[in-house]
Amino acid sequence: MNLRIAHGWIAVLTFAGLVSMVAAEPSYEGRKKCGSCHRSQLDSWEKTAHAKAIDSLAPKAKVEAKKKARLDPAKDYRQDKDCVGCHSTGFDQEGGYDPKEPSKYLTGVGCESCHGAGSEYRLIHRKAGQAFEKKKQTAARKQLVDTGQEFQFSERCNACHLNYEGSPWKGAKKPHTPFTPKVDKKYAFDFDKAVRNNKAMHEHFKLDGTFTGAPVPSFRDEFQAKAKPAVKGKEE
């Protein structure tokens, strides 16, 4: 083969490799994907305030709370960049919520707001799930972390709940939440308590043990001990 052409091909292949590496950055896809397999968690999540968070931005919703926080209860905040970031899933990020073309699967604080953008790790869930079902073969949990799945949670919660001036959380930056402990003590956020708040969080359902190894959150055993049997779905 002509050496020149061979070099050209190597350059093209290397470039294609770089492009596919960039494209592999996980993106937000919305809860439809997650919920088609994890039915129980979806049904439970739908009953939480997180699921309805975008509705709080509508005019006439939560009038008293808005007045207390010096917001205008008559105003429609549903397209407001200073608000939607914490009331939707993946705003301003690849595949995430866009107020101009609002996908109903990205409204509210959805699965990926806490578990991480899912385009990559959900493919691993599918493959590992099939291997476990057929041959009881398990898979390493670490590959989920490498593809963007969250196992710590607290930083993600803090980015919405503790994002205000004078916050005990170091990462705070604008836009801030208007609902701070100065407005009302009930808005103070304690991760260890909040993550165990059964009304705010989806219920927990038994895992089969498809994934093994580190990392697991400190509260995994506690949640799994009380977990109910899961109703699983199949990806559509």
Closest approach of ligand HEC to the CB of residue 6, in Å: 41
Closest approach of ligand HEC to the CB of residue 21, in Å: 21
Chain contacts with ligand HEC (rule: CB under 6 A): 31, 33-35, 37-38, 41-42, 45, 49-50, 53, 56-57, 62, 65-66, 71, 77, 80, 82-83, 85-87, 109-115, 118, 122, 125-126, 129, 141, 153, 156-157, 160-161, 163, 175-179, 187, 194-195, 197, 199-202, 204-205, 207-211, 217, 220, 223, 235
In this structure, are residues 209 and 138 in contact, taking their beta carbons and an 8 Å threshold? yes
Closest approach of ligand HEC to the CB of residue 137, in Å: 12
Q: How many CB atoms within 10 Å of residue 144?
A: 22
Measured at the CA of 88, the angle between CA 85 and CA 91, to 5 degrees, comes to 50
The residue (of 17 and 146) whose beta carbon lies closer to ligand HEC is 146
Token pair, residue 172, equals 């705070």
The residue (of 12 and 82) whose beta carbon lies closer to ligand HEC is 82
Q: For residue 89, which of 39, 37, 12, 34 has the smallest C-alpha distance? A: 34
Q: Classify burial at 31, counting beta carbons within 10 Å of its beta carbon; exposed 0-12, middle 13-18, buried 19 or more.
A: buried
Closest approach of ligand HEC to the CB of residue 212, in Å: 8
Residue 18 to residue 24: CA distance in whole angstroms: 10
